[in-house]
Amino acid sequence: MLAKRPPMGWNSWNTFGHDINEKLIMETADAMVEKGYLEAGYEYLVIDDCWSEMERDENGRLVPDHEKFPHGMKAVADYVHSKGLKFGMYSCAGVRTCAGYPSSYDHEYVDAQTFAEWGVDFLKYDFCNFPESGNCKSRYLRMSMALKASGREILFSACNWGVQEPWKWMDSIGVHMYRSTGDINDSYQSFKDIAVSQIPNLCMSGSGCFNDPDMLVVGMYGKGNVGFGGCTDEEYRTHFALWCLFGVPLMMGGDIRNLNDVSRDLLLNKELISIDQDEECRAPYLAGQSGNDHYFFVRHLSNNEFVLAYFNFSDKAGMTYHYSGAFEDIGIPYGSGYGLELTDVFTGEKLGVKRDYFVPQVEAHGCQMFKGKLVRV
Ligand code: GLA
């Protein structure tokens, strides 16, 4: 089964945009293995937009850009596979991709066949330049069927930016993950707005078909294709914690050949990844909220474990957030005789058993996240 858990990998768009070539892809494949990303679960290496020639060949087939990919895509796929990774590519449901390259509208079956022949394992499918007369759902359905007809198992990553509430229908047409929002950029405001917008839809995300709130910007620090000033380390920590709490795809967007240690350690944090990848694939629920700034989430994991996550989205620096909610609100009243044995997922610090209530302090733009085991007190 594809996408049993949220897919993990790397995508070229956030940092490199059109500036891609086979050397970059091969070096990135090397880095995914050598720096421990593959071992941590990041297995898909995905080339985004801008990989092809501007026109199809005489047989109506897509052609890789001869200068960027002089040895063709099959050779790139073979190299990626030789590293134990899976290979992803990009096309679009419209008549041209977002960057203006040939796209798959009315070429769905021949393109799926081409991708399969190259050894593609993952297709990101965008939504630019879609004809007014076109029907969004039927075009995603058509590519879904074309991929199935291709004879190769290809994960279908639909990217229609939340148009027509994809959380309600993408699952039923065979999609494995669907972009639920517009594009992320490398700023606190961007990932925060995206995350908050998807809270009500997370309950429709799960094993086999995940809500995709876009690729990660961790470690970009304002460099690359979706710049916008960058984030602080604390903010990247909040970004990654949100995506892992939500149990959504983790597609790295930084230049993983050169990430600093703080970013790399964050992306490789075993506790956070194990939360993201929990086998039950349940969504978190919002257990408490005060104003538009303070959010308290709980997520049920397998093995009687739970995540307690506290976010402070306030912009007022120095304002710490004391959440004063009671365990009563999460199904564990004092009289039950049960409490939660808490561990800080970032530091590994054991906080002992808490019952009745728990009041962590959270800095502005920061978060606190704990794993709890339900125990008799
Ligand atoms: C759209 C998508 C992005 C990226 C670009 C490529 O904007 O949402 O993720 O794929 O197109 O042009």
Q: Which single residue is written with the structure tokens 């620090």?
A: 221
Does residue 49 line the site of ligand 1, with CB under 6 A?
Answer: yes
Beta bridge partners of 122: 88, 155
pLDDT the model gives residue 359: 84
Q: Which long-range contacts (CB under 8 A, 24 or more apart) does 232-238 make?
A: 232/188, 232/365, 233/262, 233/263, 234/363, 234/365, 234/366, 235/188, 235/191, 235/365, 236/263, 236/266, 237/266, 237/346, 237/366, 237/367, 238/188, 238/191, 238/192, 238/311, 238/365, 238/366, 238/367
- pLDDT beyond 80 at 31: yes
182 CA to centre of ligand 1 in angstroms? 9
Residue 301 has pLDDT above 80, yes or no: yes
Do residues 123 and 89 lie in contact, with contact meaning Cβ atoms separated by under 8 Å?
yes
| Cβ of 99 less than 6 Å from ligand 1 | yes
Q: What is the pLDDT of residue 361?
A: 87
Q: Is the shortest distance between the CB of 305 and ligand 1 below 6 Å?
A: no
Nearest CA to ligand 1 atom 8: 183
pLDDT in tens, 304-361: 999 999 999 998 866 666 665 689 999 999 999 999 999 999 999 999 999 998 888 8
- pLDDT for 345 equals 97
- Name which residue sits closest to atom 3 of ligand 1, judged by CA: 183
Cα–ligand 1 centroid distance for 13 (angstroms): 7
The tokens of 293 are what? 């700034």
Domains in the chain with CATH codes = 8-276 (3.20.20.70), 285-376 (2.60.40.1180)
Distance 82 CA to ligand 1 centre (A): 28
Strands 155-158 and 122-126: parallel
The catalytic position among 126, 186, 255, 276 is 126
Of the chain, the percentage scoring pLDDT greater than 90 comes to: 93
pLDDT digits (tens, 9 = 90+) for 265-278: 999 999 999 999 99
Task: Give the separation between CA 360 and CA 296, rounded to whole angstroms.
Answer: 11
Distance (Å) from CA 244 to ligand 1 centroid: 22
8 A C-beta contact, residue 87 and residue 122: yes
293 in catalytic set:
no
Find, among 103, 216, 108, 97, the residue nearest to 154 by Cα. Answer: 108
Confidence of residue 290 (pLDDT cuts 50, 70, 90): confident
Single pTM value for the model: 0.97
Q: Whose CA is nearest to atom 12 of ligand 1?
A: 98
In order, the DSSP letters of 33-47 are: HHTTHHHHT--EEE-
pLDDT band at 14 (very low <50, low <70, confident <90, very high): very high
Contacts of 329 (CB under 8 A, 6+ apart): 287, 288
* Residue 48 and residue 124 in contact, taking contact as beta carbons nearer than 8 Å: yes
Position 191 pLDDT exceeds 80: yes
Instruction: Identify the sign of the CA torsion 150, 152, 158, 159.
Output: negative
Q: pLDDT value at position 357?
A: 86
Q: 32-85 pLDDT, tens per residue? A: 999 999 999 999 999 999 999 999 999 999 999 999 999 999 999 999 999 999
- The pLDDT of 79-101, averaged and rounded, is 98
Give yes or no: 183 in active site.
Answer: yes
Decide the pairing of beta strands 210-212 and 86-92: unpaired
**Residues 6+ away with beta carbon under 8 Å from 259:** 35, 219, 267
> Which pLDDT band holds residue 12 (cuts at 50, 70, 90)?
very high
pLDDT of residue 319: 61
Ligand 1 within 6 A of CB of 126: yes
* pLDDT score of 291 more than 90: no
